C-alpha cells in the first residue's frame, strides 16, 4: 500500500467532508496519513478517529487556525461565503486544493489571491478503494512531488496542462461512476425482466462489468479488439451488438449524457461566481 507520508507532510484542513472528500480522506488515512495532521470543518461529517472536527472556520481558527494544505470539498454554491471568511487565512505557501465542480483555477486565484498555489483536482468515488482516477491542474508555485504523493493512493492520476477541459473531465470521470452504476442497474433489470432472479441478475451484471473492465485494463488492447474476441459472425453476441450499434443511438445517448453533465458544471461555475 502506498504511503502518503513518504513525500507528503504538513497540516491538512478539509472544508467540507461529504461523500467525495470523505472518500479521499478515508483512503489517505488507510494509506498511512497521520490523523493528527488533519482537521475537518464540517459539522455533519462522520467522525474519524484522531481527526479533529470543527463546526465552522471560525471555530477552527480559534482552536488552531494553522494549515499548510487546505482542500475545498463543500458545495460549489458555497464558495462565496467560504472565501469571504477563509481567504485572509490562505497566505504564503499554503496550497489551496479544490474538488469543486465548475470552479476554475482562475476563479480560485481571484478568491484566494495570496495562496502559494491553487490546485484543481477532479477525483471520482473509486478513490475510496484506491481504484479511482484524478485529473489535476495547478496554478502558482505548486509542490508537484507532494501533490503526486497525496493523489497516488487514490488511484491513477492524469496531469492536465491547464483546466480548460476540466468541466468535461468532471462529467466524464467524476460523474462517470454513477453512469456506470446506472448501466449495471439497467443491465440487471433487463436480465430480471427476461427471467433471472433479481439477486442473480445483479450479481451476474456486477461480475460481468467488473471482469470486462479489469480485462480491458490488463490487456492493453483497444475495446474493439476484445469485442471481436467475444463476438463471432452470426452469433449471439453479434445479435446483441447489432441492437446496441443500431443507428448510432448508444453513442448519441452517451454524448447527450456527458453534454448535460458538462453544461451543468458550467452553470455551477456561474453560480459560484455569483453570475447564476
- Identify the H or E element spanning 266: helix 249-272
Using pLDDT thresholds of 50, 70 and 90, give the confidence band for residue 1: very low
Domain identity same for 106 and 183:
no
Range of the domain at 258: 176-267
Is 276 part of any domain? no
Question: What's 47's DSSP letter?
Answer: P
Residue 40 has pLDDT above 60, yes or no: yes
The CA distance from 136 to 118, in Å, is: 11
Domain identity same for 46 and 181:
no
> What share of the chain in percent tops pLDDT 70?
97
Domain identity same for 192 and 159:
no
Provide the pLDDT for residue 31. Answer: 92
Is the Cβ–Cβ distance between 3 and 58 less than 8 Å?
A: no
Residue 3 has pLDDT above 60, yes or no: no
Domain identity same for 214 and 152:
no
Residue 266 has pLDDT above 70, yes or no: yes
> Where is the domain boundary, 115, 137, 164?
164
Is 140 part of any domain? yes
Tell me how many domains the chain contains.
2
Domain identity same for 104 and 187:
no
Domain identity same for 87 and 220:
no
**Cα→Cα distances 61→68, 139, 168, Å:** 13, 26, 36
Average pLDDT over residues 55-83: 93
Q: Give the chain's end-to-end CA distance (angstroms, integer).
A: 43
Is the Cβ–Cβ distance between 160 and 238 less than 8 Å?
A: no
Domain identity same for 11 and 140:
yes
Provide the pLDDT for residue 5. Answer: 56
Provide the pLDDT for residue 4. Answer: 61
Domain identity same for 124 and 212:
no
Average pLDDT over residues 203-209: 97
The overall average pLDDT reported for the chain is 93
The CA distance from 177 to 187, in Å, is: 15
**For the chain, how long is the longest CA-to-CA vector?**
72
**Cα→Cα distances 75→31, 72, 78, Å:** 26, 9, 6
Is 82 part of any domain? yes
Provide the pLDDT for residue 272. Answer: 73
Q: What pTM does this model have?
A: 0.84
**Coil, strand or helix at 54:** strand
> Where is the domain boundary, 164, 188, 210?
164
Domain identity same for 124 and 180:
no
Is 170 part of any domain? no
pLDDT tens digits along 85-138: 999 999 989 999 999 988 999 999 999 999 999 999 999 999 999 999 999 999
Grid coordinates representing 184?
449495471
CB atoms within 10 A of CB 4: 25
Name 238's Cβ contacts closer than 8 Å, sequence gap at least 6: 231, 232
Query: 244 or 268: which carries more pLDDT confidence?
Result: 244
Provide the pLDDT for residue 173. Answer: 92
Is 274 part of any domain? no
- Give the CATH number of the domain where residue 58 resides: 3.40.50.720
> Where is the domain boundary, 164, 190, 211?
164
Is 182 part of any domain? yes
Residue 2 has pLDDT above 70, yes or no: no
Domain identity same for 11 and 113:
yes
Name 145's Cβ contacts closer than 8 Å, sequence gap at least 6: 7
pLDDT tens digits along 161-172: 999 999 899 899
Domain identity same for 113 and 67:
yes
- Give the CATH number of the domain where residue 216 resides: 1.10.3730.10
Is 275 part of any domain? no
Is 37 part of any domain? yes
**Cα→Cα distances 93→67, 68, 90, 142, 143, Å:** 10, 7, 8, 9, 10
Name 97's Cβ contacts closer than 8 Å, sequence gap at least 6: 69, 70, 71, 72, 119, 121
Name the strands in the sheet holding 155-159, side by side, starting at the edge strand that comes first in the sequence.
52-54, 38-41, 12-15, 69-72, 95-98, 117-122, 132-140, 155-159
Provide the pLDDT for residue 118. Answer: 97
Domain identity same for 194 and 64:
no
Residue 182 has pLDDT above 60, yes or no: yes
Provide the pLDDT for residue 270. Answer: 81
Amino acid at each position: 500500500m502506498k504511503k502518503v507520508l513518504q513525500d507528503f507532510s504538513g497540516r491538512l484542513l478539509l472544508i467540507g467532508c461529504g461523500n467525495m472528500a470523505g472518500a479521499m480522506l478515508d483512503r489517505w488515512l488507510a494509506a498511512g496519513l497521520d490523523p493528527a495532521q488533519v482537521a475537518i470543518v464540517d459539522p455533519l461529517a462522520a467522525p474519524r478517529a484522531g481527526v479533529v472536527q470543527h463546526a465552522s472556520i471560525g471555530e477552527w481558527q480559534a482552536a488552531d487556525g494553522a494549515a499548510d494544505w487546505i482542500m475545498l470539498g463543500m458545495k460549489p454554491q458555497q464558495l462565496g461565503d467560504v472565501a469571504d471568511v477563509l481567504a485572509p487565512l490562505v497566505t504564503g505557501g499554503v496550497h489551496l486544493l479544490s474538488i469543486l465542480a465548475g470552479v476554475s483555477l482562475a476563479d480560485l486565484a481571484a478568491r484566494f489571491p495570496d495562496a502559494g498555489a491553487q490546485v484543481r483536482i477532479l477525483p471520482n468515488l473509486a478513490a475510496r478503494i484506491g481504484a479511482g482516477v484524478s485529473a489535476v491542474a495547478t496554478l502558482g508555485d505548486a509542490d508537484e512531488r507532494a501533490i503526486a504523493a497525496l493523489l497516488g493512493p487514490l488511484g491513477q492520476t492524469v496531469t492536465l496542462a491547464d483546466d480548460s477541459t476540466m468541466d468535461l473531465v468532471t462529467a466524464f470521470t467524476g460523474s462517470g461512476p454513477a453512469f456506470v452504476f446506472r448501466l449495471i442497474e439497467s443491465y440487471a433489470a433487463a436480465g430480471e425482466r427476461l427471467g433471472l432472479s433479481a439477486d442473480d441478475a445483479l450479481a451476474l451484471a456486477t461480475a460481468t462489468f467488473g471482469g470486462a473492465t479489469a480485462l480491458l485494463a490488463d490487456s492493453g488492447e483497444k475495446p474493439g479488439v476484445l469485442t471481436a474476441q467475444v463476438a463471432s459472425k452470426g452469433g449471439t453476441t453479434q445479435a446483441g451488438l447489432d441492437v446496441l450499434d443500431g443507428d448510432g443511438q448508444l453513442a448519441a445517448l452517451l454524448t447527450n449524457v456527458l453534454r448535460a453533465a458538462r453544461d451543468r458544471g458550467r452553470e455551477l461555475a456561474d453560480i459560484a461566481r455569483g453570475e447564476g
